Amino acid sequence: MRPILMKGHERPLTFLKYNRDGDLLFSCAKDHNPTVWFADNGERLGTYRGHNGAVWCCDVSKDSSRLITGSADQTAKLWNVQTGQQLFTFNFDSPARSVDFAVGDKLAVMTTDPFMELPSAIHVKRIARDPADQTGESVLLIKGPQGRINRAIWGPLNRTIISAGEDAVIRVWDSETGKLLKESDKESGHKKTVTSLAKSADGSHFLTGSLDKSARLWDTRTLTLIKTYVTERPVNAVAMSPLLDHVVLGGGQDASAVTTTDHRAGKFEAKFYDKILQEEIGGVKGHFGPINALAFNPDGKSFSSGGEDGYVRLHHFDPDYFNIKI
Partner 1 sequence: MAHQGEPAKLRWGELEEDDGEDLDFLLPPRQVIGPDENGIKKVIEYKFDEDGNKIKITTTTRTRKLANARLSKRAVERRSWPKFGDAVHEDVGSRLTMVSTEEILLERPKPLGSKAEEPKTAGDPLAQFQKGAVLMVCRTCGKKGDHWTSRCPYKDLAPPSEGFVDKPAASDAATATAGATKGAYVPPGLRAGAERTTGSDMRRRNDENSVRVTNLSEDTREPDLLELFRPFGPVSRVYVAIDQKTGMSRGFGFVNFVNREDAQRAINKLNGYGYDNLILRVEWATPRAN
Residues of this chain that bind partner 1 (CB under 8 A)? 1-8, 21-24, 33, 35, 37-38, 41-49, 63-64, 82-84, 269, 272, 280-286, 299, 313, 315, 317-318, 321, 324
Q: Which CB, 36 or 107, lies closer to partner 1?
A: 36
CB of 278 to partner 1, least distance (A): 13
Q: Which CB, 15 or 317, lies closer to partner 1?
A: 317
Q: Which CB, 44 or 129, lies closer to partner 1?
A: 44
Instruction: Single out the residue of 96, 61, 101 nearest to residue 81, CA to CA.
Output: 61
CB of 307 to partner 1, least distance (A): 14
Using only the alpha carbons of the chain, give its radius of gyration: 18
Q: What is the phi/psi pair of residue 256, to 5°?
A: -70, -15
Q: Which CB, 110 or 284, lies closer to partner 1?
A: 284
**What CA–CA distance (Å, rounded) separates 181 from 265?**
41
Helix, strand, coil shares, percent, the chain, to 5: 5, 50, 45
CB of 91 to partner 1, least distance (A): 22
CB of 281 to partner 1, least distance (A): 7
Q: Which CB, 203 or 286, lies closer to partner 1?
A: 286
Q: Which CB, 125 or 313, lies closer to partner 1?
A: 313
Q: Is 67 exposed, middle or buried (0-12, 13-18, 19+ CB in 10 A)?
A: buried
Q: Which CB, 64 or 253, lies closer to partner 1?
A: 64
**29 forms bridges with which residues in the sheet?**
13
Q: Give Cβ neighbours of residue 319 (< 8 Å, ≥ 6 apart).
A: none
**What CA–CA distance (Å, rounded) separates 191 from 187?**
9
Ramachandran class of 210: left when φ > 0, alpha when ψ lies in -120 to 50, beta otherwise? beta
Q: Which CB, 79 or 101, lies closer to partner 1?
A: 79
Q: Which CB, 29 or 152, lies closer to partner 1?
A: 29
CB of 107 to partner 1, least distance (A): 23
CB of 4 to partner 1, least distance (A): 6
Q: Are 240 and 201 in contact (CB under 8 A)?
A: yes
The sign of the torsion formed by the CA atoms of 50, 64, 238, 145 equals positive
Angle at 314 between CA 312 and CA 317, to 5 degrees: 155
CB of 40 to partner 1, least distance (A): 9
Torsion of CA 86, 131, 105, 304, to 10 degrees: -10
CB of 187 to partner 1, least distance (A): 28
CB of 318 to partner 1, least distance (A): 8
Q: Is 156 helix (H, G, I), strand (E, B) or coil?
A: helix
How far lies 38's CA from each of 54, 78, 243, in Å?
Answer: 22, 20, 21
